[in-house]
Structure 1
Amino acid sequence: MAMTARPTADRYPTRLPHAVDPVPRAEPVVWPGGPRGPIAPADLRSYDRKGHLAVRGWLREAEVASLRDEVARLTDDPALRSDPRVVREKRSGAVRSIFQVHRLSPPVAELLGDPRVLDRARQILGSEVYLHQSRVNCMPGFTGKGFYWHSDFETWHAEDGMPAPRAVSMSLALRDNFPFNGGLMLIPGSHRTFVPCVGETPAGHYRESLREQQIGVPGEAEIRSLATDHGIDQFTGPAGSALWFDANILHGSADNITPFPRSNLFVVFNSVENTLTEPFAAPARRPEHVAERDFTPLRRTDQRNDRG
């Protein structure tokens, strides 16, 4: 499938030499015209308003245990020790993230086509979808480092060439997410405001940003203003719970200094009508293990099985 043509004007300029005013979102959050899905109308309205939706106890214990075993296998695999898809903490060297995990783990690949997952993504985005990114984020006890406030779309727009925030992420808890072990915080309603960031994107920036992001983060004044207006929510729940959140919502997490590790599987779905162009504010594309450029629509697992 071909890339989306580059828009003649950039609606969401960012990585600028000086601060500019935030930009109101121009596109819908829940897109019309999509297939029917499992999200109830009231929950869909809540997602539209807040920019996120949590489902507690969503996967069965055996399903979560299988995925958790897969993460342990990948983390301990000596063949992946120097693989660029494995990102390590700057100080401890512990595994921070594993990217393109759907290509490394058959159970994760199978999950992408599960109707419980895929039909929700289609319902929110109003179209067929493809996988923009998959990764596991690990936050070990005592030493796990957090992620500063950011909008994923700001990065995907600037460094990957995603034209509009017509993408949705699912974070699946593989271990219990407590309020005290670095659970994800979100500013509800911030998904309707794009916050341009200051600072030019250095070449190869993704290598450092995946460990500690310093370019592509909003200013403190904008964070304070949005948090004051909307408050802060947090995703918590037992293993097997899932959080769906809009590409443009501001979110982040604190360090984990507790003895309780946290790990989450992230999968990002992008509309096939919103495929990547060239980066809007970076000298080169990020590699495909960070931003997929295979725009083939995902198919439900049962449909794949029907075709043999």
Structure 2
Amino acid sequence: MSPTSATSTLTDLYPTRGAAEVSAPRQDPVLWGAPDTPGPFTADDLMAYQRDGFRALDRLLDDDEVTLYRAELERLVADPSVRADERSIVEPKSKEIRSVFEVHRISEVFGRLVRDERIVGRARQLLGSDVYVHQSRINVKPGFGAGGFYWHSDFETWHAEDGLPNMRTVSVSIALTENLDTNGGLMIMPGSHRTFLGCAGATPEDNYRKSLQMQDAGTPSDGALTSLADEHGIRLFTGGAGSATWFDCNCMHGSGDNITPYPRSNVFIVFNSVQNQAVEPFAAPVRRPEFVGARDFTPVR
């Protein structure tokens, strides 16, 4: 199958990586399930998610669970075989591990977390279907200089480079250390999920090797970011270990460098609807590796 044949019968609702930056209204629902769908989220939670593009929970994991998952994160980071694995991404300067991808397959402990009904049940409510894991990782973000993640929409990347056709994907970031207002926390522009920003510039081959350390292709212009921030504002997420933030795939978000002594570690899980399976990339010469953008669409059970 040629790279274009899998997408030739689909209308590209979100053109990107062209000669010019393009801003367009979202063409997909935000909340795919009904507001009264039973599950861990309340109806008020679901409506707030639809309005803002995210929902934060103060206490998803208890203290014992945080201890368990943090210990597993530390075990993985200290394991030489994990460090040598291509799924581990290191900081360019310090050479410390920045992220470990496909962590739900590497670790049975994190595999069980993905299957936890508090986690996957919420994804099903938001996406209105069974779901599979498009991507999972632990982010370590150690103190004293760990780099941030520049402003971006995940969907822009997943559409362009992984071939996700529609905005039917949700991420959850679960804190395993305290999120302070000083250690490089997650920032989101509330309401930005309703606008798709198609970025300018072609996608280099094997772009993922660079982008997992520092975002370049697929980044919005300063002018576009200023307009979005002026319209929507910026929300910085703080909270204790065990807190979690669910956010829509098209939210404009990023995080700053961590120059404090205090690490900001989390587990990050991306759920995609089984009805939104990846095809060939819409704006990249080749697919990214499966540990970054899954091609196993088996529903989480």
The TM-score, its normalising length taken from structure 2, stands at 0.95
Q: What's 2:32 paired with?
A: 31
Q: What's 2:129 paired with?
A: 127
Displacement, 1:280? Answer: 0.3
Displacement, 1:138? Answer: 1.3
Displacement, 1:82? Answer: 2.0
**SS at structure 2 position matched to 1:195:** strand
Q: What's 2:144 paired with?
A: 142
Q: What's 2:201 paired with?
A: 199
1:269-280 correspondence to structure 2 within 5 Å: 269-280=271-282
Displacement, 1:5? Answer: 6.3
1:255 aligns with 2:257: yes
Displacement, 1:38? Answer: 1.4
Task: State the distance in 2 between where 1:229 and 1:81 align.
Answer: 42
- In structure 2, the CA distance between the partners of 1:259 and 1:286, relative to structure 1 (3 Å rule), is same
Q: Is the 8 A contact 1:33 1:127 kept in 2?
A: no
Task: State the distance in 2 between where 1:293 and 1:275 align.
Answer: 8
Q: What's 2:168 paired with?
A: 166
Task: State the distance in 1 between where 2:248 and 2:208 align.
Answer: 21
Displacement, 1:17? Answer: 1.7
Letter in 1 for 2:207: H
The TM-score, its normalising length taken from structure 1, stands at 0.93
Displacement, 1:18? Answer: 2.0
1:69-88 correspondence to structure 2 within 5 Å: 69-88=71-90
Task: State the distance in 1 between where 2:7 and 2:117 align.
Answer: 30
1:94-109 correspondence to structure 2 within 5 Å: 94-109=96-111
Q: Is the 8 A contact 2:191 2:232 kept in 1?
A: yes
Q: Is the 8 A contact 1:6 1:163 kept in 2?
A: no
Q: What's 1:114 paired with?
A: 116
1:145-294 correspondence to structure 2 within 5 Å: 145-294=147-296
Unmatched 5+ stretches in structure 1: 300-308
Task: State the distance in 2 between where 1:6 and 1:100 align.
Answer: 29
Q: Is the 8 A contact 1:199 1:215 kept in 2?
A: yes
Displacement, 1:31? Answer: 0.7
Task: State the distance in 1 between where 2:233 and 2:21 align.
Answer: 23
Letter in 2 for 1:277: V
Task: State the distance in 1 between where 2:274 and 2:62 align.
Answer: 30
Q: CA RMSD in A?
A: 1.3
Letter in 1 for 2:29: P
Task: State the distance in 2 between where 1:275 and 1:6 align.
Answer: 15
Task: State the distance in 2 between where 1:65 and 1:7 align.
Answer: 48
Displacement, 1:71? Answer: 0.9
Q: Is the 8 A contact 2:21 2:197 kept in 1?
A: no
Q: Is the 8 A contact 2:7 2:280 kept in 1?
A: no
